Amino acid sequence: MSREDLLTMADTASSEPIQLVAPDGTRHRHAAFDAMLADVNDDAVADLYVDMVAVRRIDTEATALQRQGELALWPPLLGQEAAQVGSARALREDDFVFTSYRENGVAYCRGVDLDDLLTVWRGNASSGWDPYGINMATPQIIIGAQTLHATGYAMGVKFDGGTQASVAYFGDGAITQGDVNEALAFAASYQAPVVFFCQNNQWAISEPVGLQTRVPIAQRADGFGIEHLRIDGNDVLATMAATRMALERARAGDGPTFIEAVTYRMGPHTTADDPTRYRDAAELEEWKEKDPITRIEAYLHTRGMAVDGFREAAQHRADDVAEKLRHGITTMADPEWQAVFENVYAEDHSWLERQREQYGRYQDLFSSDAEGKA
């Protein structure tokens, strides 16, 4: 990537987010970003639309399952579909992904089994899936901790002479965490092939992003000497182009890139949250006008695509995904109680054995024999 391109990237941090598709479907031109999408024709854009519809349906179905008592908790991503689908579809299979708990759209694109997507939220497993099966770590609950994991992985790739990249997804609420700042420092020092993908959804639970930073989040990368991009996170084409650009830099040995995807969480932080207690209803209505799915549908309409046809196809895909999701979670067998003690330590020790024995005696209180004696 040329010096001019790098300067162009840095300039974007202090300006309006880069946008390729406006909310009304109008296509804007951007020379560097358009070059990254040279192979993305109208059919490929329609595929991204179908992905986003399916991801939104997963979100809706999981929320319903939580309300019906099938899940303990669910972190919705409503409104962030473009940021997740566009970036995830830019990755290669051998790249490695590290996320927080809200990147269910990324997990869907990486091929996570639908049952595994919800297992941990039902409390049936300590984690979700085999990370090495799809090159994606299981969700990190500790805010920002995965940025260190992604940086360490990228440093290993560089030391081994590989061409893969790692990607760390996190939200605006993580940017003031020590882990994130340590990860940025290490990534810059070692020029690690890692992409930091920050979804600025405007709210860290009930705290607005303005309380955390007085400058655009992307500008923080300046202090670490990391190149950065600030994009419209509700624009799936801008998101894909930016991620491809960052990955290209990583593979070329040009070091880390920080992407701020400006988006909006239209739902609650989790199903245990009530955003009406801290968020103005007018703000939500304003962002609904920037919906990532309706805008790409409007764009495809301007391209003369048969919108009704691919809208119906997308709905069928979403219905199928929702049916499999619900069937999987409602027929899932409960784990044996002993499973909670597995994979905690490499080897058993006396304290663990004592806890297992005590918990076993507690479980016996609920056995049929105990009931008979009572």
Residues with active-site annotation: 265, 269, 278
| Count of beta carbons in the 10 Å neighbourhood of residue 60 | 15
Amino acid at 276: T
Closest CA to 105 of 316, 305, 324, 318: 318
The distance from CA 5 to its chain's CA centroid, rounded to whole angstroms, is: 27
Length of the chain: 374
- CA torsion sign for 341, 342, 344, 345 is positive
Measure CA 294 to chain center.
Answer: 20
- In single-letter form, the type of residue at position 210 comes to G
Q: Alpha carbon 335 to chain centroid distance?
A: 27
- In this structure, the strands spanning 227-232 and 257-262 are parallel
Which residues, listed in sequence order, are joined to residue 18 by a DSSP beta bridge? 231
- Residue 196 φ then ψ, to 5°: -95, 115
What values do phi and psi take at 237, rounded to 5?
-75, -40
Note whether 352 and 341 are within 8 A (CB): yes
Sequence-distant (6+) residues with CB within 8 A of 166 are 95, 96, 97, 98, 150, 151, 153, 154, 157, 192, 193, 194, 195
How far apart are the C-alpha atoms of 326 and 354, rounded to whole Å? 38
Could you please report the per-residue DSSP string of 102-132?
Answer: S-HHHHHHHT--HHHHHHHHHTS-SS-S-HH
- Provide the edge-to-edge strand list for the sheet that holds 257-262: 96-98, 166-171, 194-200, 257-262, 227-232
| C-alpha span between 174 and 147 (Å, rounded) | 10
Map tokens 């290993």 to a residue: 156
Specify which residues 200 forms β-bridges with. Answer: 262
C-alpha–C-alpha distance, residues 312 and 201, integer Å: 29
